[in-house]
Amino acid sequence: MKRAAPGHLFLLLVAISVVLLLVWNNNGDETSEAMVPAIDRAGLHPAVVKRIDERIGALEQSFDSAASWGTLGVVLDLHDLQAPAIECYLQAIDRDPAQFIWPYFAGICATIGNRDRALQFFATAHKLDGDYPPLLIRQGLLILQGGETEKARALFEQAMSFDDTLIQGHLGLARCFMIDGDLDSAGRALDRCDELQPTSGEVAATRSMWWQGRGDADQAALSLEMSRNKTPREPLPDPLRNDAVMSEGVGPQWWMERSRRLVAANRIDAALDLWRGALAEDPDNPEFHYQMARVAERTADHKLIISHYLAATLGDPRMAKGFSDFGAFLLKIGNRSAAEKALRSALQLAPDSDVVQGNLGALLMSGGNSEEGIPLLEAARDTSPGNADVRFNLAMAWKTIGDNARASEEFSAVLQLDPARTRARFEWGVVLAELGQLDQAAEQFSQIVASDPTREAPWVNLARAYLGNQRYKDAITTLRSAREKLPKNGKIAADLAWLLATCPEARWRNGAEAQQIAVLLCEGVGSTHPSSFDIWAASLAEVGDFEGAVEKAQQALGLFDDNPGNPRQRSDIEQRLQGYLAHKPYRIEN
Amino acid sequence: MQKGGLFRLLVCGSILSFAGCTGSVFTPSPILMPSHFIEVDEVSGIPCDETLPVVGDRFMPESMAGGCVLFDCDGDGDLDLYRLRFARGPNGVLECDAGANRLYRQDGPWEFTDITESSNLGDRGYAMGAASGDIDNDGDLDLYIGNLGADRLYLNYGNGHFTDITSEAGIDVEGWSSSVLFVDVDRDGYLDLYITRYLAFNDKISGQDAAGRPEYLPPSRFKGLDDRLLRNNGDGTFTDISAEAGISGHPGKGLGVVATDLDGDGDIDLYVANDGEPNHAWINDGAGHFVESALTMGLAVNLFGQSEAGMGIAVGDLDGDGFDEIVVTHLVHETDTIYRSTAAGHYSDATTTFGLAPATIDFTGFGTALVDTDQDGDLDLITVHGRVLRKSIHPGAAGGEYWEPYAEENHLFLNDGTGKLHLEATGIGHPSGRVEVSRGLALGDLDGDGDPDLVIANADGTIRLVRNVGADGSWLWVLAFDPALNRCAIGSVVEVEAGGKTQRRRVGAGGSYLSCGDERVHFGLGSASKIEVIRVHWPDGTSEQFPVSQVNQVVVLKKGEGA
């Protein structure tokens, strides 16, 4: 077999082709072996024609070169000219039967529309090199389509013995198991897929049928709905094919694909160069300007981004996506009025677009225009009920205008679609608490702290939800746990000390501990906030030191002189001071 | 450069040699005579080869159209052919003379007369699908045409003369309609209309392939539409009850539809094949209210949860277990899918079990039918094909430069008696090996010899009448007739026991793609020389047995005349 390190072989072969061309030019006596296949150039993009002609030019000077034939095959293959492409691949194979890449590419070329032929080509490639995981996956998928699960499974397993992170391998395995009715094994394979790529729509769709097999129609429906808003197809990492695409794919569609791959590889400059090249050939092409702007968004060059969005939308005033993305960009950089104008144009052009409705709705809401904003967000939700982003924005809108019941419904929907969305869970918890559904609120906050114990607010809210239901022990336990996780967090320390000092149930109070924390807050950390001294005062009162409590309460009130703060808090402390003067410790009330 | 070298090695023939890969993909296959269905050249009265003009800009609807209806328009007992046509006029207008439909009256086997003008059925709309049914229970078949544009309803005067009653009937359906089905969803005795709707097409959007050539757009570029359900009020008018029946609010990209009892509760449900979206299974509560239940029934997506490009549908009991299977045709690189009924209301993707996967994966299927083509007592499968994206030109491809890259052969799969389907390599085609871009498929006995023949409508506007030459067994055609309704008892199930087998057919189930066939149902009876039992289960839940024993005949079974 002959296969250099994946990722370089294709470029190497192209280089060989060029070298052979130079050698031939020196000798001048090379003989050719076959005719270049007939290629119908009618309607082809000029860049495609140019690339074909370049490769034919190379071939005509070196007909014995497998690389020249193969490279022409790649150009034809990538540009939907499968018949002559396979002819060229066959010529390449004929000239270099030990080379893996040509039967492999021929197999890919034949996959759609000629499965048997593709399997033959892949079998040939496999004989030359059975260690290339993408080949094994492609073979496995084709064989699986024919229902031969045992053979397909062996290929997927072989592929994963080289690379266990290939999601297509695990997905293939899951499918084999599902056909064979082994749902337990299929479930394990799908779990691995989820670990590798939680946003895969393909995995979610397969999972849907897995749930169906388990007899859980609700989960099946949910998974299927979720799949519609995730990545529809998982790409197969294939360095050989990728190199071929990056080297020989030309014309608008391939430029877009190449740009996507460059951006995914964080090669932003290369992607920008690609579109500069395209614009050099077709300077007024609005689509190219749009693509340039999209890539440029990965840079901080606002001038570049705006100039290309402007060129795109002026060049094609009906380009809804141009206005939509331009609007989203303007919103991102804080130019709200220009963003609104662009998004309104987009809405006129694409009134049913959930993205436009959602973005404009969110923009209007953030500007306080709920009258227009909410109907737009509702329309976006109706268009894409499975879009968790859209539903989150609508939930936030309901919350903003104080319609907590509707907000709760939407947050619930968001979390059904995407249970990992912590922000939505937090907001839902807040809304539930405001609705008085404290146990449900506590459930949300406790889920958040279980998955991410590093954030203050969910701990505090969880404790307060417990407190609201007189679950003092749970509240104190929560704050103790929070303090262990966030020992330097003053807010959590303060809440704990306050509760230990003022809890209505004596068995949970601990004035000494409260005082210790309060001292730490005021003297150790140096807090000058009135509430810190208020806590200290309460803790002193709890241990019977009313003199000390009076002193600290007065100290707290004195701090309001420098910082007016919350008048209600001041009056609360004044009331508590009266209590301490009367030797009455303070107890929180629910 | 020494160009002389080019020709020396061509003689060596090394171009075709390749170890491990047999021959070149470009080697034409030898042309073999079709063994079961042969396209008939000698059809008089129908210009079968007449094509429709194409502008060349890959106007998406032209790649999806091509329907036909086989129905007895004049009540003379034989099948007439309604040919749906689709062409744009100047400035892209969708109603024009070039796109006018045609009606051909059958005068004898393979002999027709164009009666478009006298029948008044030359609808000029951009036709997609159509169906015939007796909307006023006057004993003749009326016609509904689903257009790209405004749909039309034509009332039959009984003598093959029709009048457009769209407005009077209160029908206002615009957009992109596809397959159409007459079905009595509320069992009030009048045929209602189910209209599948495709997508919100925008002709301002154009598509290109990877080489930059104009190419048909994929449906994913457009939003799907809600299907429509029109209730027949019994007075010549219809009311759109899509919303109240529960159909609205579930946009799909509907192309094919069948009416059958999906959940086994005795009433008629509907199953819709959507293109690239989950299919819909509309479960009827018996009063014409529907709940979409495809996912829970296992009918929405394939085994891997993928929505496929659903085009045509066929329904029938492939494996003789008493439960119907549903076949849906799909795009290349997707298999056609067989959903097998595992229990009442439960289906699973059993494509592999039935042996359909490898043979269908390379083709884009549209019209389809489950019918006993060889009359051996089990259902066979016919699928007609044609790509929607250009690929290597198939040997024998016809249709000129424009259509050749889309042409594919059509397929006949024979049932081995266990339900397993085997592709007949030469099952169906033209003696010349001509291959076209096929879409619609309708079934009926066109030459009166008892076996089912075919009509295939192509995307280029040509139409093919296809003679069945591969049927050996006995046969029976049954018209289930309800004298009280004065029409075919659509929705009833005919059950025949003969030769040790029991077979069932549902009357008026619809299916295929944009097309509609004979309302009579066909049975292949194998070597059986007599019928043991023939029973009809009527839509009202009653059943009757009829004293019919003779094979090889067309029988009319009238409700109330059985036992």
Residues A227 and A205: beta-carbon distance below 8 Å: yes
State the nearest Cα–Cα gap between B327 and chain A, in angstroms.
17
Could you give the residue ranges of the DSSP H alpha helices within B257-399? 294-297, 357-360
Q: Is B400 on the interface with A (CB under 8 A)?
A: no
State the nearest Cα–Cα gap between B403 and chain A, in angstroms.
15
Compute φ and ψ for A121, nearest 5 degrees.
-60, -45
Residue B489 CA to residue A508 CA, distance in Å, equals 79
| Contact (CB<8Å) B303/A175 | yes
| Contact (CB<8Å) A31/B295 | no
Closest CA to B248 of B315, B284, B197, B309: B197
| Contact (CB<8Å) B211/A127 | no
**Assessment of whether the complete model's pTM goes beyond 0.80:** yes
Q: Is B417 on the interface with A (CB under 8 A)?
A: no
Calculate helix-pair angle for A286-296, A252-264, nearest 10 degrees: 0
Interface contacts A/B by beta carbons within 8 Å? 180
- Report ipTM for this prediction: 0.88
pLDDT digits (tens, 9 = 90+) for A258-309: 999 999 999 999 999 999 999 998 999 999 999 999 999 999 999 999 999 9
Closest CB from A34, A43, A208 relative to B15: A34
Q: Is B301 on the interface with A (CB under 8 A)?
A: yes
pLDDT digits (tens, 9 = 90+) for B291-343: 999 999 999 999 989 999 999 999 999 999 999 999 999 999 999 999 999 88
Residues A320 and A346: beta-carbon distance below 8 Å: yes
Residues B333 and A111: beta-carbon distance below 8 Å: yes
Compute φ and ψ for B272, nearest 5 degrees.
-120, 130
Give the nearest chain B residue to A91 (CA atoms): B15
Give the nearest chain A residue to B406 (CA atoms): A113
| Contact (CB<8Å) B211/A79 | yes
Strand order in the sheet with B411-415: B365-371, B380-385, B411-415, B421-424
User: DSSP 3-state helix, strand, coil percentages of chain A (rounded to 5)?
Assistant: 75, 0, 25
Residue A478 CA to residue A480 CA, distance in Å, equals 5
Give the nearest chain A residue to B302 (CA atoms): A209
Residue A81 CA to residue A37 CA, distance in Å, equals 11
Could you give the residue ranges of the DSSP H alpha helices within B250-318? 294-297
Q: Residues 337..366 of B with a Cβ closer than 8 Å to A: which?
A: 351-353, 357-358, 361-362
C-alpha distances in Å from residue B360, one per residue of B340, B385, B411: 17, 10, 9
C-alpha distances in Å from residue A519, one per residue of A497, A540, A558: 10, 10, 18
| Contact (CB<8Å) A31/B2 | yes
pLDDT tens digits, chain A, 590 residues: what are they?
455 454 455 666 656 555 555 554 444 444 345 789 999 998 999 999 999 999 999 999 989 999 999 999 999 999 999 999 999 999 999 999 999 999 999 999 999 999 999 999 999 999 999 999 999 999 999 999 888 999 999 999 999 999 999 999 999 999 999 999 999 999 999 999 999 988 889 999 999 999 999 989 889 988 888 887 778 888 899 999 999 999 999 999 999 999 999 999 999 999 999 999 999 989 999 999 999 999 999 999 999 999 999 999 999 999 999 999 999 999 999 999 999 999 999 999 989 888 999 999 999 998 999 999 999 999 999 888 888 889 999 999 999 999 999 999 999 999 998 888 999 999 999 999 999 999 999 999 999 999 999 999 999 999 999 999 999 999 999 999 999 999 988 899 999 999 999 999 999 999 999 999 999 888 877 777 888 899 999 999 999 999 999 999 999 998 887 766 677 888 899 999 999 999 999 998 76
Residues B184 and B190: beta-carbon distance below 8 Å: yes
Residue B242 CA to residue B196 CA, distance in Å, equals 11
| B129: β partners | B146
| Contact (CB<8Å) A43/B212 | yes
Angle at A190 between CA A187 and CA A193, to 5 degrees: 160
In a mutational test of the B interface, the residue from A22, A36, A87, A209 whose CB has the highest number of chain B CBs within 10 Å is: A209
